[in-house]
Structure 1
Amino acid sequence: MLSPSRHRRIFKFPLKPLTSLIFTKPAFSAPVLADPPQPPATPHDAVSEIVAGITALGPAKFVTDHRFNALLSGLDSRQVDGIISDLRAEDLDCAVGFFNLLRNECGFKHSSVSRFVIAHLLAGRGFVHELRDLLHEMVREEAFLSCVIFTLLGSGSAPLLSELLWNSFNDWDSNGVVWDMLAFAYSRSKMVHDALYVFAKLKDLNIQASIPTYNSLLHNLRDSDIMWDVYNEIKASGVRESEYTNSILIDGLCRQSLIQEAVAFTLESEGQQSGPCLVSFNTLMSGFCKMGLVDVAKSFFCMMYKYGLPPDAYSYNILIHGLCIAGSLEEALEFTSDMEKHGLEPDVITYNILTKGFFLLGMMNGAWEIIRRMIQRGVNPDIVTYNLLLCGHCQIGNVEESLKLRDEMLSRGFQLIDTSYSLLLSSLCKSRRVDEALCLLYELEAVGLKPDLVMYSVLIHGLCKQGEVQRAIQLCKEMSFKRIFPNAFTHSAILLGLCEKRSISEARTYFDTLTKKDFIDNIVLYNIMIDRYAKLGDIGGAVQLYKQLTEKGIAPSVVTFNSLIYGFCKSRKLTKARRLLETIKLHGLVPSVVTYTTLMNGFCEEGNTPALFELLREMEEVVQPSHVTYTVIIKGLCKQGKLQESVRLLDDMFSKGLNPDEVTYNTVIQCFCKAKDMKMAFQLHNEMLKHSLRPTYVTYNILINGLCVYGDLRDADRLFFSLRDRNVELTKVAYSTLIRAHCAKGDAHTATMLFYQMIDMGFEISIRDYSAVINRLCKRCLTNEAKVFLRMMLSNKVSLDEQICSVLVQAFGRVGDLNSVVEILPTMIKRGMDPG
């Protein structure tokens, strides 16, 4: 093993005495207490009677005896201190029993004096676990007082308890054990400054700390250089290290990313008589796995055999976990098999690790296969297994399976963890099953778990997305009553719901309520309102809120300016929108891709191509344009009829590593269709396929319309029926386009057939659909065919409107079909229409 001096040379850590790590702060002076404690204020005969009664009857019988109830009910902590002190002299068991009975059965809060008396008694009898729990409880209960003292006087509770222990118990037997255990209790409670204070006292009193206490402190300091000071003091003290001492240090080096030092420390322990231990290797492997260096961890796994250290189940679990996190499930399963070959049975932890690995990749079938294998081997799933499965199904959106698992867990007496409830609530809300999610919230409370801010926020967001904003507001009030206070995210969900589902005035009222109460001055809430005003075209309302937030000293964000730019562009105030670019820079912000693209789209709509390219050049100096930016530019070029330039820009996108999306291609394809260049339009369609970009229904609507209007109707039919035979998604627009084209060509038979197919597909047929067909048939004087659609319309209980009736009357009149005119007139008169 490396000597302390060697450590300093290799790791360059200074060797300081541990006491130098204590912050120099004014100590809290506790009143000096005599030993033993002074007799209580209770009359001497009453105290004697209590002590005699406890000694004679024992504590349990004593407190149930009616003669002593009155005496006990009037006791205070100083009097109990005196009784315990007297009992200590008479009967140690009675003293401990009376202390526990008052604490556990009567809820009495003992003083630090009584606790230390009992601590010494437990230490003297070697009851280490009981002593540890007692002092840990004392330290934990002093936590609040410790915070107050630390704030006011500059110290925690350690100076107070140390002075009490020094002044009142210094010459008691087992005092050194109690001092050591007090340091351990502070360290175990993560009160490191207090632990260091007690360590300094141990050194002053020449009391040797035990290795568990040193290890606990070392563990708490493993994220800092100070751990070396603790380790060097352990070496200097001569205390026999445990196998965990080195592993804690190795873990600390790994956590601090000091990989070479961790390896060196592990391997150079070979010089010791014991050599590297299994725990050290496991710690090193765990550190590498946490950093994603699983291959390095595997090399140390193999090295263990060189040192005669066969890996244990924990070693395998570390590697299997690292492989699962890295996504190497096959290799993880191979290590599981290797584990069995070496006589180590995979335990529930192993199977849970594998289950988690599968669900992290969304492979729930694989996770269930692990569960089946687990049960076949006689290993029962535990609460972790169920929670993993439940979380996995929630993440892939399988709510039904998640609910089944929840029911099975409850039937087996297992409790869902908070994370499981949160994911289940989120899944139900995403599936628009908010009422079930609310029931789950109340179930959570019924089993003793407390809903948190995240759970309430998920539910509020779900209610708002369903348009039930008022219920969301009520739930927000309910959480406030439970002292779970909404944050900006919660309020933003409600504000978004009001903006999208209700009127802007309601949203503004809610917003003003928040700002008037000074509940929160959050830029996110302002951005929501400004964006809504901008999208509604109310640029005045957006600017007024912008002025309000600047007056309040709230810093606007780029999102704020993006919304204002959109609003000015929508209102065709492009000069003001352009000026906002400079305003963004004055606020120390950098315009985003959205900023430039929004502004460029405004100039595109105005047909100002020079301004468009000027902005592009300026943008490229600040931020990389996105594929949306290029789509806007392409749209501008197409509007100017510069189709070849738009195609060249498509090629430029690929050369710059930007992949055009469906919208980009659809924009260019539509322009070529309007230019009657159907060949180029289909060439672009084929290019989409070449780049693994799937054309959307919008793409095919554009192509079918282009063929119907500018090309050959027979080609449109071939494309349409080819797509339908290949089960490509076709919308009502595609059917309607083709039907109108056939009506215009006078092909009533095909139009009728397509119309019936459109109905069979389940599309909603409106009066506008009937009107479009009837108008075109009447223009072609196909009145008999128009009658077919009229009867179809009436049989489907679609009411005639004045326009259709007028078209039909005129068409029937032109062909001399007076009988049909007479049939329609009564319907027109009945519906209050003017026959003309």
Structure 2
Amino acid sequence: MLIRWKPLRFLGNYGILSPLSSLIFSKPTVSAAMVVDEAQSSPPISRDPVREILLGLKSSGFRRFLGGDYFRSLALTLNQVQVDLIVHDLRVVNPDFAVFFFDFLRDEYGFRHSAVSRFVVSHVFADQRRFKELRFVLEKMLEEEGSGKAPLICQLLLNGFKDWDSNGLVWDMLAFAYSRSEMVHDALFVLAKMKDLNLRPSVLTYNSLLYNLRHTDIMWDVYNEIRDSRTPQSRQTNSIIIEGLCGQSKLQDAVSFLQETKGEGLGPSIVSFNSIMSRCCELGFANTAKSFFCMMIKHGLVPDAYSYNILIHGLCVAGSMDEALEFTNDMKKHGLEPDRVTFNILAKGFHLLGLMNGAWKVIQRMLTKGLDPDVVMYTILICGYCQTGNINEGLKLREKMLAHGFQLSPIIYSVLLSSLCKRGRMDEALFLFSELEANGLEPDLVTYSVLIHGLCKQGEIQEALELYREMYAIGILPNSFSYGAILLGLCEKGMLAEAKAYLDSLTMANLTQDVVLYNIMIDGYVKHGYVEEAVQLYKLIIRKGITPSIVTFNSLIHGFCKRRNFGEAESLLDTIRQHGLKPSAVSYTTLMDAYCEEGNMTNVLKLFEKLKASGVSPTHVTYTVIIKGLCKHWKLHEADQMLKYMYSRGLNPDQITYNTIIHCFCKARNVTKALELFNEMMLHKLEPTPVTYNVIINGLCVYGDLKDAEQLMVSLQEQNINLTKVAYTTLIKAQCVKGEAHTAINLFCQMVEKGFEISIRDYSAIINRLCKRCLITEALFFFRLMLSQGISPDQEIFEAVIGAASCQGSDVNLVHELLAWMTKSGLLLDKFIRK
């Protein structure tokens, strides 16, 4: 039986394999069988291992021979050339034998095959159309060979396998494998060789290469090559081009390409529309994305969940939550249901708008769909609650996460720690920090810095320094924020000597290269009244060659203003310019506020004109200072006009601005205008502060209608708005003056229930007012209540009660009892009482 085979030109002396092949294909003789049996028992030293293996495979069978000890001893001595010969010969006998032997050596012995064997096996897979295995073999080869080897690989494939069946398919898969492995230049080299050989790459190979080049202009070269070669295109080809153009910020080109390719028989795909919609949303053109969404439907394409999520995300970012919810409901029309991604997008949208109630509704809807919140959803909610100041809700969600077996991410810990530190809840923050470490997460520089800053703000300097040393010990180098936190904490606690010593130590260690730390120290000096020391430190940084910042000068201006040294403060505006800086709105506003406190509105307005002339934009604080000055001079109409002017300039007044002008109108007995301004605050969605309520209630009590004050108080209580003690005491005093003692008693009891600390001054104010109204019974109620709380009456209270009791002709025994108590307390009796 004559078997044709193709010798391998690159195998050198091993290229003449016909005798070995005949051993496989001819019937075994007795002598051949004896040779194999002898080989199994005592392997000959001089025998060729290639020949022996082929003989053994022929006589003993594949599995039996490969599992024997003799092959095991031979396998350990085989080199790549020998294996190439065996694999090639086995392919001629039976392609499956070649593949089996190839895999056996690789899997059982960890043998690293040469490119020759890989190409032999690749051709077997190509012949059998086993594309997955073909790609795996080639990708493994490229992984081991690395990039830049395409010329050698192509030369091998060209010289050794040129006339083999399915050779074109192997070339195509080689280019595809290079592209999939992101070795783009190698893939381009293979394509160039294929063009020389007149081999046509498949559209899959072209598409893979296009995808890797979609963010570069080379993409067009590949696309033109596809068209020139008349390779049948797919919708994926056009989708990749459109995605690439969108990624290159060429949205208009992407739209034009979409229009041009509509008539080519392939039509636009959902992926193409999704790419354009996504880019529109990224640029903030949510309405344009909506038009493409509608166009997609007109082309007979059914949007997928990704299409909806893109558009919903764009609408959420644009703040159009109602439309986003409408599109979520619209998904059902196309047989889709919102998934976790959809709900996460909606929750994040509500979070961005600070509407956490909306986010909770999203969760409720999600739960009704049988979907549990994932880590992403919890992270969004926790971040949202912390940013809106509701840290307790954030902590509750953390407990839910732990209960459901979720691992908290470093982001969640950082957000919670930061919120706790901002609110001074350092014990909880430190517990959370310990939990973070216990869960195997490593705190980073930001985590340590936040904790150090929080401890310093609470005056816990020693604890902050311990944490600082711990951070340094584990190799996390502190930054200026960490140093600044400790320095700021020392300054805020008034430990200026220690702060200066710490700054000096940092200077000695060459860690104060910028002006930030010096600014903290200068500001600390100024706030505690040590202006001269601040000036000396400023002169020191000038000598060191450190450039001061605008913050440096603003602190010094504030210091000179505190000293009423307005000349020096104003001269610093020129000094700022000499250093190549520009005075900020803070620079001018600080000086304007100082002049305002002095009642010098002329200089306030002069500085305001200078500020505008210098091109500096005034802030809402600047206008608040001017409004405060106008109010002090009872120029209420001008103050009100200035408030309107702020809005016309696009500046939103804050609560302090409104509180200032409302208080002034109340003092001017124009409570109606004060209430108009209060309502104006609400219309502008500006949440009144407790001070606002105090001002309004006081204005109604003193200058308006007490009933209106009572109604406002009840309304605020129904809304669970936390009122201050001042609001209660103001209304109680007004009720006492009016003679409404029972109402006063009721309000006082409410104030006690709220947990406010009641002082002797509070009792004195109420008792005196009741006594003046000759309401001795009610006055005695508060007198006894004060005694029951362990508060000893002072002389003023005794005199008021005794005087009221005497004038009213009350029980003489009561008067004597009060006099005896007063004498026992060591208080002196004035002439009126003795009489």
* 1:684 equivalenced with 2:677 (yes/no): no
State whether structure 2 residue 531 is matched by structure 1 residue 539.
Answer: yes
Amino acid aligned to 1:222: R
* Aligned partners of 1:689 and 1:695 also within 8 Å: no
1:579 paired with 2:578, answer no
User: Is the CA contact (8 Å cut-off) linking 1:565 and 1:595 kept in structure 2?
Assistant: yes
Aligned equivalent of 2:587:
595
1:778/1:689 CA distance change after superposition, 3 Å? closer
Comparing 747-756 with 392-401, greater Cα deviation is found at: 747-756
TM-score when normalising by structure 2:
0.70
Alignment of 1:288 with 2:280, yes or no, is: yes
Aligned residue in 1 for 2:384 = 395
CA contact (8 A) 2:122 2:170 kept: yes
The 1-side partners of 2:120 and 2:635 are apart by: 96
1:631 aligned residue: 624
Secondary structure, counterpart of 2:220 in structure 1:
helix
SS in 1 for 2:223: helix
Q: 1:122 to 1:514 in 2, by over 3 A?
A: farther
Aligned to 2:360: 365
Q: Give yes or no for contact 1:360–1:392 (8 Å, CA) kept in 2.
A: no
Q: Which runs of 5+ in 1 are unaligned?
A: 1-33, 37-44, 73-79, 104-109, 140-156, 830-836
Deviation at 1:615, TM superposition (A): 0.6
**Are 1:195 and 2:184 matched, yes or no?**
yes
2:237 counterpart residue number: 245
1:643 Cα shift?
A: 5.1
1:625 aligned counterpart, secondary structure: coil
The structure 2 residue matched to 1:725, chosen from 709, 714, 718, is 714
Counterpart in 2 of 1:620?
612
- Equivalent pair of 1:323/1:331 in contact (CA under 8 Å): yes
Contact preservation (8 Å) 1:774, 1:789: yes
Separation (CA, whole Å) in 2 of partners of 1:735 and 1:349: 49
1:229 partnered with 2:227:
no
Deviations 1:252-298 (A, max 9, x none): 22233433321221222234343434433343333334434444444
Aligned CA RMSD, in angstroms, stands at 5.5
1:611 aligns with 603
The letter of the residue matching 2:713 is: R
Shift of 1:564: 2.6
Distance 1:245 1:119 in 2: 30
C-alpha displacement at 1:684, in angstroms?
A: 3.3
The letter of the residue matching 1:130 is F
Which residue of the partner structure matches residue 130 of structure 1? Answer: 136
Asked if the contact 1:269/1:276 (under 8 Å) is kept, the reply is yes
Matches of 2:572 and 2:173 in 1, distance apart?
A: 66
Distance in 1 of aligned mates of 2:47 and 2:456? 67
Q: Give the letter aligned to residue 244 of structure 1.
A: Q
C-alpha distance in 1 between matches for 2:297 and 2:638: 68
* CA distance in structure 2 between the aligned counterparts of 1:454 and 1:316, rounded to whole angstroms: 37
Q: Which one-letter code corresponds to 2:673 in the other structure?
A: Q
1:267 to 259, 270, 281: 259
SS of the equivalent of 1:727 reads: helix
Aligned ranges 1:544-559 → 2 under 5 Å: 544-547=536-539, 549-550=541-542, 554-559=546-551
Deviation at 1:638, TM superposition (A): 3.9
| Identical-pair percentage | 46
| Structure 1 residues 279 and 789, CA gap change in structure 2 (3 angstroms) | closer
Cα displacement (A) at 1:761 = 4.3
Question: Structure 1 residues 551, 230: closer, same or farther in 2, change over 3 A?
Answer: farther
Preserved contact between residue 395 and residue 423 of structure 1 (Cα < 8 Å): no
Q: Which amino acid aligns with 2:725?
A: K
Q: Which amino acid aligns with 2:523?
A: D
**Range that drifts further, 746-755 or 602-611:** 746-755
Contact 1:569/1:599 (CA < 8 Å) preserved in 2? Answer: yes
Deviation by residue 1:308-340 (Cα, 9 ceiling, x = unmatched): 545455445544554455455555565556554
Helix, strand or coil for the counterpart of 1:569?
helix
Q: 1:169 to 1:753 in 2, by over 3 A?
A: closer
TM value normalised by structure 1: 0.69
1:51 and 1:551 mapped to 2: Cα distance?
Answer: 89
Contact 2:235 2:267 in 1 (8 A): no
Does residue 664 (structure 1) correspond to residue 657 (structure 2)? The answer is yes
- Contact 2:309–2:342 (CA under 8 A) maintained in structure 1: yes
Q: Is the 8 A contact 1:35 1:169 kept in 2?
A: no
In structure 2, distance between residues paired with 1:454 and 1:529:
23
> What is the distance in 2 between the residues matched to 1:46 and 1:787?
125
Query: Which deviates more, 354-363 or 219-228?
Result: 354-363
Does structure 1 conserve the Cα–Cα contact (< 8 Å) formed by 2:452 and 2:485? yes
Q: Which amino acid aligns with 2:367?
A: R
Q: 1:456 touches 1:479 (CA, 8 Å); kept in 2? A: yes
Distance 1:806 1:276 in 2: 90
Distance 1:487 1:632 in 2: 36
Amino acid at match of 1:388: M
Change (3 A) 1:509 1:309: same
Matched, 1:797 2:790: yes
Counterpart code for 2:715: R
The answer to whether the 8 A contact 1:609-1:636 is kept is yes
- Asked if structure 1 preserves the Cα contact closer than 8 Å seen for 2:312 and 2:328, the reply is yes
Aligned-partner residue type, residue 635 of structure 1: K
Rate the CA distance shift 1:189–1:793 in 2: closer, same or farther, 3 A. Answer: farther
Contact 1:777/1:786 (<8 A) preserved: yes
Residues 815-830 of structure 1 correspond to what in structure 2 (within 5 A)? 820=818, 823-824=821-822, 827-828=825-826
Kept in 1, the 8 Å contact 2:151–2:189? The answer is no
User: What's the offset of the Cα at 1:533?
Assistant: 2.9
Is the contact made by 2:421 and 2:451 (CA closer than 8 Å) also made in structure 1?
Answer: yes
Which position in structure 2 is the counterpart of 1:12?
none
Structure with more relative contact order (C-alpha pairs < 8 Å, separation 6 or more): 1
The farther-off stretch of 289-298 and 419-428 is 419-428
What residue is the counterpart of 1:766 in the other structure? 759
Amino acid at match of 2:359: M
User: How many Å separate the matches in 1 of 2:293 and 2:797?
Assistant: 87
Cα distance in 2 between the residues matched to 1:597 and 1:84: 83
Deviations 1:800-825 (A, max 9, x none): 7xxx3598599989999786565455
- What is the letter of the counterpart of residue 688 of structure 1? F
**Cα distance in 2 for residues equivalent to 1:659 and 1:471:** 41
Distance (Å, rounded) in 1 between the aligned partners of 2:504 and 2:177 = 51
Measured at CA, do residues 138 and 747 of structure 1 come closer, stay the same or move farther in structure 2, by a change above 3 Å? same
Give the equivalent residue in structure 1 for 2:130: none
Residue type of the alignment partner of 2:365? I
Aligned length: 730
* Aligned residue in 2 for 1:437: 432
- How far has the Cα of 1:578 moved from its partner? 1.5
Measure how far apart 1:359 and its partner are: 5.8
Contact 1:809 1:824 in 2 (8 A): no
Distance in 1, Cα, partners of 2:736 & 2:368: 65
State the one-letter code of the partner of 2:571. R
Tell me if the contact between 2:764 and 2:797 (Cα under 8 Å) persists in the aligned partners. no
Structure 1 residues 450 and 733: CA distance shift in structure 2, 3 A:
closer
Deviation at 1:706, TM superposition (A): 6.6
- Cα 1:350–1:641 change in 2 (3 A) is closer
Aligned letter for 1:370? R
CA contact (8 A) 1:746 1:780 kept: yes
